Amino acid sequence: MARKVIWSFEATADIEAIADYIARDSSFYAASFVLEMREASRSLNELSERGRIVPELSNPSIRELFIKDYRLIYRIEESRVDILGLIHGKRDLKTLWEKEQRKN
């Protein structure tokens, strides 16, 4: 069953902040990064269960894909996939999300 993929406000802010950071060195690589993340998220409409369960959150409906050094974190719902965030793989997800009071 195809699901609609929806980017949360927080995830959109994440990708914009990362792209801005990359663009300081290369606007080409920043655009390439955004394109790669968007393409990966689009594939979740059909293949939403391919990502692993996020170990820090222990919720089977919250999964992640690793894309380069980043974790694309998403929640699977019955008819949609919500992109929850995008963080660097070396960051402490649980502490970051508690600090920012993100929803799971």
The domain made up of 4-100 is a member of CATH 2.160.10.10 = no
Q: What is the pLDDT of residue 1?
A: 66
Residue ranges per structural domain of the chain = 4-100
Q: How many CB atoms lie within 10 A of CB 96?
A: 14
Quote the pTM value: 0.85
pLDDT single digits (tens) 45-103 = 898 888 999 888 888 999 999 988 999 999 999 899 999 989 887 776 666 666 555 66
d(CA 90, CA 98): 16
pLDDT single digits (tens) 5-35 = 999 999 999 999 999 999 999 999 999 999 9
Please enumerate in sequence order all residues whose Cβ is within 8 A of that of 5, keeping only pairs 6 or more positions apart, or say none: 41, 42, 44, 45, 80, 81, 83
